[in-house]
Amino acid sequence: MNMNLQELEENENSNYKIISISNDFNILNSLSKFLEDIGYSFTSITNSKDIIDKIKNEDFDLMILDFTMIPLHINNIINEIRNLNRNLYILLLIDNQNLESTLDIIKTLDIQGFCEKSSNLNQLLLLIESGINSIKQKKEIEKVNNKLSNMYDKLEQAYLESIQTLRYTVEAKDTYTIGHSNRVSAYSVLIGNYLGLPEKDLKNLDIGGLFHDIGKIGIPDTILRKEIKLTDYEYSEVKNHPSIGAHILSNATVFKEIIPIVKYHHEKYDGTGYPNHLKGTDIPYLARIISIADAFDAMTSKRKYRDSLPINTVLNELESSKGTQFDPTITDTFLDILKNHYNEIEKIQNEFS
């Protein structure tokens, strides 16, 4: 007997195990009803003392953790969980009454997203759906990696095919990504060539540039496609995409070299970037190159809320951000390209317009 679409989805969802830790019974009951109705395996616990034992004895894909239960021990709890299950996708529920101070705390946590507690679960359910999509992509990558662990001759082709598949997934969510990643990749390779980098680094810049925004798979469409300025809360959600991207790629040997690019391309030279506030040469070198290429394309691309910036404005912005947002040496090299070899920039823009 053939299954209908709903039955197929429920059957697929049964492969994913979700756990929620909260003492808010209204949220737990609502989550349980919704998630179990669409086929997910759902477990809830109400005592924070049971968290570690539960993670130690059972394998879960996604966790919803109520920050208000363990505000003083959140760092230790997250670290213990990561020691037991480094692949677990963690969403944090936070109290909107102390939102600002809570955001400062969770910036340093190894989590993939957060959501304000509310009787309306729409935002949380969107994040769960996005999280499951991220987990699916991660598992697909792991399958490719495992299949090819002893088949080195086929590794390269599978690597490229995996990249293309995942890129198309991101582009389907965020139309701005179409063309943007190609241009960031090409600008980065151009900078790398002028810096005299070896072929291996140029290749990692090429792939890392194409793939730097893969973590947007885990950001709800309502935020990615919003046509007006994001709220502080929504922008904080977007800032999770580097960590989500690194999490997706973390188990695949073929992506090992580009994970630092994906995770750290929004760090700033003065230490004010995200997700880890790395400073200066602590930021991986290739990530510093991708960072300036990414910013240049953002400034020279037309967005929903503004037109592209004039090149003189861009040059001034890059010059003023040298040593604060960007590596000074890399910035000088890129400024030289923009001032004296702009035809190479235009060639890239024409190819990926």
3-state class (DSSP) for residue 322: strand
Sheet holding 89-94, edge to edge: 41-45, 17-21, 62-66, 89-94, 113-116
Neighbour tally for 129: CB within 10 Å: 14
Give me the sign of the Cα torsion angle 329, 350, 227, 181: negative
> Is the bond preceding residue 198 a cis peptide, omega within 30 degrees?
no
How large is the angle between the packed helices 199-211 and 177-194, nearest 10 degrees? 160
Q: How far is CA 234 from the centre of its chain?
A: 14
Looking up tokens 């000074």 gives 328
Q: Which is the catalytic residue, given 117, 173, 216, 322?
A: 216
Structural contact between residues 91 and 113, judged by C-beta atoms closer than 8 angstroms: yes
Give yes or no for a contact between 44 and 18, defined as CB atoms under 8 angstroms apart.
no
Q: Which residues on adjacent β-strands are paired with residue 149? A: none
17 assigned to active site: no
CA triplet 237, 108, 19: central angle to 5 degrees? 65
How many angstroms separate the CA atoms of 147 and 44, rounded? 35
Cα–Cα–Cα angle for 38, 40, 112, rounded to 5 degrees? 115
Catalytic residues: 216
